[in-house]
Chains A and B, each alone.
Chain A
Amino acid sequence: MKKLIKNVALAAVAASLFPQALAAQAKVTIGTVNNADMIRMQKLSEVFEKENPDIDLDWVILEENTLRQRLTTDIATQGGQFDVVTIGMYETPIWGAKGWLEKLENLPASYDIDDVFPSVKEGLSVDGTLYALPFYGEGSMTYYRTDLFEKHALTMPQQPSWDQMMDFAKKLHDPDNGVYGMCLRGKAGWGENMALMTTIANAFGARWFDQKWKPELDQKAWKEAMQFYVDLLGQYGPPGASSNGFNENLALFNSGKCAMWVDATVAGSFLTDSSQSVVADKVGFSLAPSQKTRQGASWLWAWGLAIPKTSDAKTAAQKFTLWATSKKYAQLVAETHGVAAMPPGTRQSTYANAEYLEKAPFAKMTLLSMEKADPKKPSMHPVPYVGIQFAAIPEFQSIATQVGKFLSGALAGSMTVEQAAKSSQRATERVMKRARYYR
Chain B
Amino acid sequence: MHLTLRHQKQLKTLVIGALAWGIALLLFFPIFWMLLTSFKTEIEAFSTPPSFLFTPTLENYLTINERSDYFHFAWNSVVVSVLSTLLGMLVAVPAAYSMAFFETKRTKSTLLWMLSTKMLPPVGVLVPIYLLVKDAGLLDTKAALIVIYTLINLPIMVWMIYTYFKEIPKDILEAARMDGATLLQEVTSVLLPMSKGGLASTILLSLILCWNEAFWSLNLTSSEAAPLTALVASYSSPEGLFWAKLSAVSTLACAPIIIIGWFSQKQLVRGLSFGAVK
Contact = CB atoms under 8 A, between A and B. Distances in A.
Interface in B213-228: 218-219, 222-226
A16 B241 contact: no
Nearest to B79: A16
Given A79-B130, A251-B241, A255-B48, A60 B222 contact: yes
A192 B238 CA distance: 9
A77 B42 contact: no
A341 interface: no
B74 to A, nearest CB: 14
A177 interface: no
Nearest to A246: B239
Given A18-B143, A20-B137, A73-B127, A64 B238 contact: yes
Interface in A62-88: 62-66, 70, 73-74, 77-82
A66 B218 contact: yes
A247 B226 contact: no
Interface string B196-237: 000000000000000000000011001111100010011111
B242 interface: yes
B42 A276 contact: yes
A17 interface: yes
B43 interface: yes
Query: Which of B47, B139, B238, B241: most chain A Cβ within 10 A?
Result: B238
B233 A63 contact: yes
Interface stretch (A32-40, A96-104, A221-229, A419-427): A32-40
B238 A63 contact: yes
A251 B130 CA distance: 39
A42 interface: yes
B11 interface: no
Given A39-B67, A65-B238, A77-B130, A247 B141 contact: no
Contact of B130 (A36, A73, A192): A73
Interface string A350-383: 0000000000000000000000000000000000
B240 interface: yes
B70 interface: no
A81 B134 CA distance: 9
Given A16-B142, A247-B46, A251-B47, A63 B236 contact: yes
A238 to B, nearest CB: 9
A25 to B, nearest CB: 14
Contacts of B137: 20
Interface string A250-265: 1110110100000010
Given A62-B234, A65-B238, A73-B130, A276 B43 contact: yes
Contacts of B142: 16-17
Interface in A319-366: none
Nearest to A255: B47
A36 B103 CA distance: 60
A170 B82 CA distance: 60
A17 B46 contact: no
B150 to A, nearest CB: 14
A267 B240 CA distance: 8
A3 B57 CA distance: 51
Nearest to B224: A19
B131 interface: yes
Contact of A245 (B218, B225, B238): B238
B272 interface: no
Interface in B119-164: 126-127, 130-131, 134, 137-143, 146
A246 B218 CA distance: 24
Contacts of A17: 141-143, 146
Given A19-B141, A79-B134, A266-B239, A62 B233 contact: yes
A54 to B, nearest CB: 18
Contacts, number: 118
A79 B79 contact: no
B252 to A, nearest CB: 16
Interface residues of A, number: 50
A63 B237 contact: yes
B219 A70 contact: yes
Contacts of A257: 48
A247 B238 contact: yes
Nearest to A82: B222
Contacts of B138: 18
A246 B238 contact: yes
A29 B222 contact: yes
A252 B42 CA distance: 13
Contacts of B47: 251, 255
A70 B237 contact: no
Interface string A10-38: 00000011111000000001010111100
A61 interface: yes
A61 B218 CA distance: 11
A63 B233 CA distance: 7
B43 A270 contact: no
A34 B141 contact: no
B48 to A, nearest CB: 7
Nearest to B143: A17
Nearest to B46: A251
A254 to B, nearest CB: 6
A39 B240 CA distance: 12
B234 A61 contact: yes
B199 to A, nearest CB: 24
Nearest to A17: B143
A382 B54 CA distance: 55
Contact of A66 (B48, B127, B233): B233
B139 A79 contact: yes
A77 B47 CA distance: 43
B141 A58 contact: no
Across the A-B interface, give the 6 residue pairs with the lowest CB-CB distance, nearest first: A251-B46, A63-B236, A61-B234, A34-B237, A58-B223, A17-B143
26 contacts: A17-B142, A17-B143, A19-B140, A19-B225, A20-B224, A31-B222, A33-B237, A34-B235, A34-B242, A58-B222, A60-B234, A61-B234, A63-B234, A64-B237, A77-B130, A78-B134, A82-B222, A246-B238, A247-B46, A251-B43, A251-B47, A252-B48, A254-B46, A255-B43, A255-B47, A266-B239
Given A20-B137, A58-B222, A245-B238, 9 more contacts: A19-B225, A31-B222, A36-B240, A60-B223, A62-B233, A247-B239, A251-B43, A251-B241, A255-B46
Interface of A: 16-20, 29, 31, 33-36, 39, 42-43, 58-66, 70, 73-74, 77-82, 191-192, 245-248, 250-252, 254-255, 257, 264, 266-267, 270, 276-277
